[in-house]
Structure 1
Amino acid sequence: MSSGTSAMRVDNGDWFLQSIINLVNDSNLRVGIILCVNGLLVFGDLVGGHKYFKGFINQFVEGRNENINGERLRTSIKACEKIHIKDRLDRQEILPCYIHLQNARIFDSNGTLVSGSEGIWWRGRVSEISGFSLDYINADAIG
Protein backbone atom coordinates (compact mmCIF):
# COMPACT_ATOMS: atom_id res chain seq x y z
CA MET A 1 0.00 0.00 0.00
CA SER A 2 1.17 3.51 -0.67
CA SER A 3 1.90 5.63 2.36
CA GLY A 4 -0.67 8.30 3.00
CA THR A 5 -3.45 6.52 1.12
CA SER A 6 -6.06 4.13 2.32
CA ALA A 7 -6.56 0.76 0.66
CA MET A 8 -9.79 0.07 -1.18
CA ARG A 9 -12.22 -2.40 0.35
CA VAL A 10 -13.81 -5.08 -1.80
CA ASP A 11 -15.70 -7.03 0.87
CA ASN A 12 -16.89 -6.59 4.43
CA GLY A 13 -13.78 -8.02 6.10
CA ASP A 14 -12.07 -6.42 9.09
CA TRP A 15 -9.76 -3.71 7.68
CA PHE A 16 -7.34 -4.10 10.60
CA LEU A 17 -6.99 -7.85 10.09
CA GLN A 18 -6.60 -7.25 6.34
CA SER A 19 -3.80 -4.77 7.07
CA ILE A 20 -2.00 -7.41 9.16
CA ILE A 21 -2.45 -9.94 6.34
CA ASN A 22 -0.93 -7.43 3.89
CA LEU A 23 2.04 -6.95 6.20
CA VAL A 24 2.60 -10.71 6.37
CA ASN A 25 2.10 -11.14 2.60
CA ASP A 26 4.81 -8.56 1.96
CA SER A 27 7.38 -9.98 4.40
CA ASN A 28 8.74 -13.12 6.06
CA LEU A 29 6.72 -12.52 9.21
CA ARG A 30 4.94 -15.42 10.82
CA VAL A 31 2.22 -14.43 13.27
CA GLY A 32 0.46 -16.74 15.71
CA ILE A 33 -3.26 -16.08 15.44
CA ILE A 34 -6.57 -17.36 16.76
CA LEU A 35 -9.61 -16.85 14.52
CA CYS A 36 -13.30 -17.21 15.28
CA VAL A 37 -14.97 -18.52 12.10
CA ASN A 38 -18.64 -19.51 12.15
CA GLY A 39 -18.45 -20.70 15.75
CA LEU A 40 -15.17 -22.57 15.30
CA LEU A 41 -11.80 -21.53 16.69
CA VAL A 42 -8.94 -21.77 14.22
CA PHE A 43 -5.44 -21.58 15.72
CA GLY A 44 -2.36 -21.33 13.52
CA ASP A 45 0.52 -19.36 12.06
CA LEU A 46 -0.54 -16.57 9.73
CA VAL A 47 1.76 -16.77 6.68
CA GLY A 48 1.92 -15.05 3.31
CA GLY A 49 0.00 -16.48 0.39
CA HIS A 50 3.26 -17.39 -1.35
CA LYS A 51 4.30 -19.51 1.65
CA TYR A 52 0.85 -21.12 1.78
CA PHE A 53 0.90 -22.21 -1.87
CA LYS A 54 4.43 -23.64 -1.62
CA GLY A 55 3.59 -25.57 1.54
CA PHE A 56 0.25 -26.74 0.21
CA ILE A 57 1.92 -28.01 -2.98
CA ASN A 58 4.46 -30.03 -0.99
CA GLN A 59 1.88 -31.49 1.39
CA PHE A 60 -0.59 -32.27 -1.39
CA VAL A 61 1.98 -33.98 -3.61
CA GLU A 62 3.44 -35.97 -0.68
CA GLY A 63 0.00 -37.25 0.34
CA ARG A 64 -1.20 -38.02 -3.16
CA ASN A 65 -2.54 -41.31 -4.40
CA GLU A 66 0.12 -43.20 -6.37
CA ASN A 67 -2.17 -43.22 -9.43
CA ILE A 68 -1.96 -39.41 -9.63
CA ASN A 69 0.97 -37.75 -11.39
CA GLY A 70 2.78 -35.72 -8.70
CA GLU A 71 4.53 -33.44 -11.16
CA ARG A 72 1.25 -32.61 -12.88
CA LEU A 73 -0.29 -31.73 -9.50
CA ARG A 74 2.71 -29.57 -8.63
CA THR A 75 2.43 -27.70 -11.96
CA SER A 76 -1.31 -27.12 -11.51
CA ILE A 77 -0.96 -25.74 -7.99
CA LYS A 78 2.05 -23.62 -8.97
CA ALA A 79 -0.21 -21.99 -11.55
CA CYS A 80 -2.50 -20.98 -8.66
CA GLU A 81 0.49 -19.50 -6.82
CA LYS A 82 1.37 -17.44 -9.90
CA ILE A 83 -2.21 -16.15 -10.07
CA HIS A 84 -1.99 -15.17 -6.38
CA ILE A 85 1.28 -13.29 -6.94
CA LYS A 86 -0.01 -11.54 -10.09
CA ASP A 87 -3.25 -10.65 -8.32
CA ARG A 88 -1.30 -9.11 -5.42
CA LEU A 89 0.82 -7.04 -7.81
CA ASP A 90 -2.19 -5.90 -9.85
CA ARG A 91 -4.26 -5.01 -6.79
CA GLN A 92 -1.75 -3.49 -4.36
CA GLU A 93 -4.26 -0.94 -3.09
CA ILE A 94 -6.98 -3.53 -2.43
CA LEU A 95 -7.07 -5.24 0.95
CA PRO A 96 -6.79 -9.06 0.84
CA CYS A 97 -9.92 -11.20 0.82
CA TYR A 98 -8.20 -14.42 1.96
CA ILE A 99 -6.09 -15.42 4.94
CA HIS A 100 -3.55 -18.28 4.96
CA LEU A 101 -2.48 -20.33 7.99
CA GLN A 102 0.23 -22.92 8.51
CA ASN A 103 -0.02 -25.52 11.31
CA ALA A 104 -3.72 -24.71 11.73
CA ARG A 105 -5.84 -26.58 14.24
CA ILE A 106 -9.62 -26.25 14.31
CA PHE A 107 -11.71 -26.60 17.48
CA ASP A 108 -15.49 -26.62 17.91
CA SER A 109 -17.30 -24.56 20.55
CA ASN A 110 -16.80 -27.36 23.12
CA GLY A 111 -13.03 -27.27 22.64
CA THR A 112 -12.96 -30.54 20.70
CA LEU A 113 -10.31 -30.75 18.00
CA VAL A 114 -12.11 -31.24 14.68
CA SER A 115 -9.06 -31.17 12.41
CA GLY A 116 -6.27 -33.72 12.56
CA SER A 117 -3.88 -33.63 15.51
CA GLU A 118 -1.12 -32.39 13.22
CA GLY A 119 -1.42 -28.84 11.95
CA ILE A 120 -2.82 -28.33 8.47
CA TRP A 121 -2.57 -25.68 5.77
CA TRP A 122 -5.75 -23.57 5.97
CA ARG A 123 -7.18 -20.83 3.70
CA GLY A 124 -10.29 -18.86 4.50
CA ARG A 125 -12.24 -15.76 3.50
CA VAL A 126 -11.57 -12.75 5.71
CA SER A 127 -15.25 -11.77 5.47
CA GLU A 128 -16.19 -14.97 7.37
CA ILE A 129 -14.00 -14.16 10.40
CA SER A 130 -15.93 -12.63 13.30
CA GLY A 131 -12.97 -12.08 15.62
CA PHE A 132 -9.26 -12.69 16.06
CA SER A 133 -6.45 -12.52 18.58
CA LEU A 134 -2.71 -12.36 17.93
CA ASP A 135 -0.48 -14.77 19.80
CA TYR A 136 3.11 -13.94 18.76
CA ILE A 137 5.13 -12.42 15.95
CA ASN A 138 8.21 -14.14 14.55
CA ALA A 139 10.34 -12.28 12.03
CA ASP A 140 12.68 -15.21 11.35
CA ALA A 141 12.94 -16.35 7.76
CA ILE A 142 10.42 -19.09 7.10
CA GLY A 143 12.02 -22.14 5.52
Structure 2
Amino acid sequence: MANTALSSSHAPLPSAGAPDQNADNLLKALVLAAHLGYHASVTLMVGGTLVTGTIIEGGRYLDHLLDAVALPTDGSAEEVRTALGNFRDAYLQGQVFEAGRLGFIHLEGAKFFLPGAPQPQVADGEGVLWRGRLEQVTGFSVVAC
Protein backbone atom coordinates (compact mmCIF):
# COMPACT_ATOMS: atom_id res chain seq x y z
CA MET A 1 0.00 0.00 0.00
CA ALA A 2 1.49 3.34 -0.99
CA ASN A 3 1.75 6.20 1.45
CA THR A 4 -0.58 8.89 0.16
CA ALA A 5 -1.30 10.91 3.31
CA LEU A 6 2.15 11.81 4.60
CA SER A 7 5.68 11.64 3.32
CA SER A 8 8.69 11.50 5.58
CA SER A 9 9.53 15.08 4.63
CA HIS A 10 6.49 16.38 6.55
CA ALA A 11 7.56 15.23 10.00
CA PRO A 12 10.80 14.35 11.70
CA LEU A 13 11.27 10.60 11.71
CA PRO A 14 11.18 9.36 15.30
CA SER A 15 14.00 7.20 16.60
CA ALA A 16 13.43 3.57 17.50
CA GLY A 17 14.27 4.27 21.15
CA ALA A 18 11.12 3.87 23.23
CA PRO A 19 9.99 5.52 26.45
CA ASP A 20 9.53 1.98 27.79
CA GLN A 21 12.22 -0.56 26.93
CA ASN A 22 9.62 -3.36 27.08
CA ALA A 23 8.47 -2.62 23.53
CA ASP A 24 9.69 -5.06 20.88
CA ASN A 25 12.45 -3.56 18.71
CA LEU A 26 11.30 -5.37 15.56
CA LEU A 27 7.76 -4.04 16.00
CA LYS A 28 9.19 -0.54 16.52
CA ALA A 29 11.09 -0.97 13.23
CA LEU A 30 7.80 -1.80 11.46
CA VAL A 31 6.26 1.36 12.93
CA LEU A 32 9.23 3.37 11.65
CA ALA A 33 8.82 1.72 8.23
CA ALA A 34 5.26 3.09 8.09
CA HIS A 35 6.76 6.59 8.25
CA LEU A 36 8.71 5.69 5.11
CA GLY A 37 5.70 4.36 3.19
CA TYR A 38 5.76 0.62 4.01
CA HIS A 39 2.51 -0.37 5.68
CA ALA A 40 2.65 -3.91 7.06
CA SER A 41 -0.48 -5.91 7.83
CA VAL A 42 -0.15 -7.35 11.32
CA THR A 43 -1.90 -9.30 14.03
CA LEU A 44 -1.08 -8.07 17.53
CA MET A 45 -1.64 -9.75 20.90
CA VAL A 46 -2.74 -7.06 23.33
CA GLY A 47 -4.07 -8.00 26.77
CA GLY A 48 -5.47 -11.36 25.61
CA THR A 49 -7.15 -9.86 22.55
CA LEU A 50 -5.97 -10.24 18.96
CA VAL A 51 -5.99 -7.01 16.95
CA THR A 52 -5.46 -7.17 13.18
CA GLY A 53 -4.93 -4.26 10.82
CA THR A 54 -2.43 -2.30 8.76
CA ILE A 55 0.25 -0.21 10.44
CA ILE A 56 0.06 3.46 9.46
CA GLU A 57 2.06 6.46 10.57
CA GLY A 58 0.68 8.72 13.28
CA GLY A 59 0.03 11.64 10.93
CA ARG A 60 -2.15 9.50 8.67
CA TYR A 61 -3.96 8.14 11.75
CA LEU A 62 -4.69 11.71 12.90
CA ASP A 63 -5.87 12.71 9.40
CA HIS A 64 -8.33 9.79 9.40
CA LEU A 65 -9.37 10.59 12.97
CA LEU A 66 -10.16 14.19 12.06
CA ASP A 67 -12.29 12.94 9.16
CA ALA A 68 -14.07 10.28 11.22
CA VAL A 69 -14.73 11.94 14.55
CA ALA A 70 -18.37 12.74 15.28
CA LEU A 71 -18.36 16.42 16.08
CA PRO A 72 -20.76 17.98 18.58
CA THR A 73 -23.83 19.69 17.21
CA ASP A 74 -24.02 22.34 19.94
CA GLY A 75 -21.82 24.86 18.13
CA SER A 76 -18.53 23.70 19.64
CA ALA A 77 -17.64 21.55 16.63
CA GLU A 78 -15.15 24.11 15.35
CA GLU A 79 -13.41 24.23 18.75
CA VAL A 80 -13.10 20.43 18.80
CA ARG A 81 -11.81 20.33 15.22
CA THR A 82 -9.31 23.11 16.00
CA ALA A 83 -8.04 21.30 19.11
CA LEU A 84 -7.59 18.03 17.20
CA GLY A 85 -5.99 19.90 14.31
CA ASN A 86 -3.54 21.61 16.67
CA PHE A 87 -2.56 18.23 18.13
CA ARG A 88 -2.09 16.82 14.61
CA ASP A 89 0.10 19.78 13.61
CA ALA A 90 2.23 19.42 16.76
CA TYR A 91 2.57 15.70 16.09
CA LEU A 92 3.70 16.31 12.52
CA GLN A 93 6.27 18.83 13.73
CA GLY A 94 7.71 16.19 16.05
CA GLN A 95 6.55 17.80 19.28
CA VAL A 96 4.54 14.77 20.40
CA PHE A 97 7.19 12.11 19.88
CA GLU A 98 8.50 12.53 23.45
CA ALA A 99 12.00 13.54 22.39
CA GLY A 100 11.77 11.46 19.21
CA ARG A 101 10.82 8.16 20.83
CA LEU A 102 8.10 5.86 19.60
CA GLY A 103 5.41 4.99 22.11
CA PHE A 104 2.36 4.08 20.02
CA ILE A 105 1.36 1.93 17.09
CA HIS A 106 -1.48 3.04 14.79
CA LEU A 107 -3.62 0.69 12.69
CA GLU A 108 -6.27 1.24 10.06
CA GLY A 109 -8.86 -1.37 9.18
CA ALA A 110 -8.45 -2.83 12.68
CA LYS A 111 -10.56 -5.79 13.78
CA PHE A 112 -10.64 -7.41 17.22
CA PHE A 113 -10.81 -11.10 18.03
CA LEU A 114 -11.92 -11.74 21.60
CA PRO A 115 -11.37 -15.07 23.35
CA GLY A 116 -14.33 -17.36 22.65
CA ALA A 117 -15.89 -15.05 20.04
CA PRO A 118 -16.36 -16.76 16.65
CA GLN A 119 -16.23 -13.54 14.60
CA PRO A 120 -14.14 -10.38 14.76
CA GLN A 121 -15.63 -7.61 16.88
CA VAL A 122 -15.84 -4.41 14.80
CA ALA A 123 -18.24 -1.53 14.41
CA ASP A 124 -18.37 -2.08 10.65
CA GLY A 125 -17.05 -4.66 8.20
CA GLU A 126 -14.17 -2.43 7.08
CA GLY A 127 -12.53 -2.21 10.49
CA VAL A 128 -11.70 0.86 12.53
CA LEU A 129 -8.83 3.15 13.42
CA TRP A 130 -6.85 1.84 16.40
CA ARG A 131 -4.02 3.25 18.53
CA GLY A 132 -2.21 1.31 21.21
CA ARG A 133 0.92 1.49 23.33
CA LEU A 134 3.83 -0.43 21.83
CA GLU A 135 4.85 -1.64 25.29
CA GLN A 136 1.44 -3.33 25.73
CA VAL A 137 1.88 -5.58 22.67
CA THR A 138 3.02 -8.99 23.93
CA GLY A 139 3.35 -10.67 20.54
CA PHE A 140 2.71 -10.10 16.84
CA SER A 141 2.75 -11.67 13.40
CA VAL A 142 3.17 -10.04 10.01
CA VAL A 143 0.89 -11.05 7.16
CA ALA A 144 2.84 -11.83 3.99
CA CYS A 145 2.30 -9.19 1.33
Task: Identify whether the pair has TM-score above 0.5, normalized to the shorter chain.
Answer: yes
- What CA deviation, in whole Å up to 9, does each residue of 1:74-117 have, x standing for no partner? 2111122123222367734x3x1100011111110224433313
Aligned counterpart, 2:109 = 103
Q: Identify the match of residue 95 of structure 2 among 82, 87, 101.
A: 87
TM-score by length of 1: 0.76
Q: Identify the match of residue 49 of structure 1 among 46, 58, 78.
A: 58
Q: Identify the match of residue 132 of structure 2 among 124, 130, 141.
A: 124
Q: How far 1:136 sits from its partner (Å)?
A: 4.5
Ranges in structure 2 where 5+ consecutive residues have no aligned partner: 1-14
Q: How far 1:33 sits from its partner (Å)?
A: 1.0
Larger deviation, residues 120-129 vs 108-117? 108-117
Larger deviation, residues 81-90 vs 128-137? 81-90
Distance 2:30 2:73 in 1: 39
Aligned residues: 127
Distance 2:83 2:140 in 1: 32
Q: How far 1:24 sits from its partner (Å)?
A: 0.8
Does 1:28 find its partner at 2:28?
Answer: no
Ranges in structure 1 where 5+ consecutive residues have no aligned partner: 1-5, 138-143
Distance 1:105 1:10 in 2: 27
Q: Secondary structure at the match of 1:22?
A: helix
Higher helix share: 1
The question of whether the paired residues in 2 share the 8 Å contact of 1:33 and 1:136 is answered with no
**Residues 9 and 73 from structure 1, CA distance in 2 versus in 1: closer, same or farther, beyond 3 angstroms?**
closer
Aligned counterpart, 1:58 = 67
